Amino acid sequence: MSNSFQSIQDFADGQLLLINKPYEWTSFDVVGKLRNAFKPLKLKVGHAGTLDPLATGLLIVCTGKMTKQIDTFQAEEKEYTGTMVLGATTPTYDLESEPEAKFDTSHLTDEQIKAVCAQFTGDIQQYPPAHSAIKIDGERLYEKARRGEEVELRLRSVTISEFEITRIALPEVDFRVVCSKGTYIRSLVNDFGAALNNGAYMSALRRTRSGNYRIEDAHEILELVDTIRALKAAPDLTGL
């Protein structure tokens, strides 16, 4: 772990916290857990880059005066590892919804699968998933999508610096991606399947790096909460 906290005042002065976001937690769940741990102190807490509930890995959280730098941290390059499942698509592009269209994968070769990576390396354009946290007219896209409303998706320019296949065991394919801010890996996976004239959805995703910060240096959220509570309970020795 990269941080050493001496008192609760350290968090008010400003901290950059590296958190290993658990599976099925929202990014806001993590922020809320920390805000609750600081009570009755009212400290500013915010995260630098949303992770979907079904994704795990590195979530940068800022406290106190460090929250002013959230936009800077959020703009940094990201690295992910994950697994896609070929042969089907889902409305959410991941496991939050059931597979719909299905495709035969028996004819796909390792060479064909690996060759597709080149189509998605460099500066590319992608549509965000309809089930995403992007706001239109003050409302999240996923809220509209869950009501069955049609939403207008706009192409976004992103940069994929590295895209490699690390394991093929059809229908599963493991990958590693290094990309710019704003890249939707779910969309990348969906487009990957389409490029094979097939289907694909994401079954696992883990953020391993953001800028120069790595998952290996991250705190487990519940352990960090215990540390915060212990510091709150410790006697104030600053005046001695």
Q: Spell out the domain ranges in the chain.
A: 9-75+212-233, 78-210
* pLDDT attached to residue 173: 98
| Residues 9-75+212-233, CATH architecture | 2-Layer Sandwich (3.30)
Q: Would you say 128 and 135 are in contact if contact means Cβ atoms under 8 Å apart?
A: no
| Torsion angle of the four alpha carbons 10, 4, 50, 215, in this order, in degrees rounded to the nearest 10 | 170
* pLDDT attached to residue 84: 98
Task: Give how far Cα 184 sits from Cα of 18, 37, 103, 117, Å.
Answer: 21, 31, 23, 15
Q: Say whether pLDDT at 174 is over 90.
A: yes
Q: Say whether pLDDT at 240 is over 70.
A: no
Percentage of the chain modeled with pLDDT above 90: 75
Mean pLDDT score, 55-82: 96
Q: Say whether pLDDT at 130 is over 80.
A: no
Catalytic residues: 52
Identical fold for domains 9-75+212-233 and 78-210, yes or no, is: yes
Question: What is the rounded distance in angstroms from the CA atom of residue 217 to the CA atom of residue 137?
Answer: 38
Q: Say which DSSP state 7 is in.
A: S
Q: Say whether pLDDT at 135 is over 70.
A: no
* pLDDT attached to residue 41: 87
* pLDDT attached to residue 7: 85
Pairing between β-strand 200-210 and β-strand 78-86 as defined by DSSP bridges = antiparallel
Q: Say whether pLDDT at 172 is over 50.
A: yes
Q: Say whether pLDDT at 43 is over 60.
A: yes
CATH fold of 78-210 reads: Pseudouridine synthase (3.30.2350)
CA-CA-CA-CA torsion sign (219, 225, 229, 232): positive
* pLDDT attached to residue 236: 57
Average pLDDT, the chain: 89
Could you tell me the pTM of the whole model?
Answer: 0.89
* pLDDT attached to residue 205: 98
Mean pLDDT score, 171-199: 97
Q: Say whether pLDDT at 134 is over 70.
A: no
